[in-house]
Amino acid sequence: MDELMLDGNAVAGLLQEVFAVEMTTAVGTCGDCGAPGPVGAVHVYRGAGIVLRCPHCGNTLAKMVKNGSRVWIDFTGIRTLEVAV
Ligand SMILES: [Zn+2]
């Protein structure tokens, strides 16, 4: 873990705001290496937006940008997302 990186818990509030369910315990499967894991364990990088990376292979799982009342989310790097409802 480098000093600019946080874990998935750092974006728990934003994810819960969008999905209206607890997302840190949701299990995502990486679209590149296929490793499953809780969203709370992904690597988070913040800059102009937020980038979530696979802790196993570094694949970009998701990119999020928030501007006022809108959030843009790109989940291209996630194969599946398992959410408790
Ligand atoms: Zn991966």
pTM: 0.85
Residues with CB under 5 A from ligand 1 (ion): 30, 32-33, 35, 54, 56-57, 59
The answer to whether 73 and 33 are in contact (CB under 8 A) is no
Q: Distance from CA of residue 43 to its chain's centroid?
A: 8
Interval 43-76: pLDDT, tens: 999 998 999 999 999 999 999 999 988 999 999 9
CA of 21 from ligand 1 middle (Å) equals 24
Residue 29's CB: how many other CB atoms inside 10 A?
Answer: 16
Output the CA 36–ligand 1 centroid distance in Å. 8
Do the beta carbons of residue 34 and residue 56 sit within 8 Å?
no
Residue 20 has a pLDDT of 86
Q: How far apart are CA 65 and CA 18, in angstroms?
A: 12
Q: How far apart are CA 16 and CA 66, in angstroms?
A: 14
Check pLDDT > 70 for residue 77: yes
Distance 68 CA to ligand 1 centre (A): 31
- The pLDDT value recorded for residue 56 is 97
Quick one: pLDDT at residue 68?
86
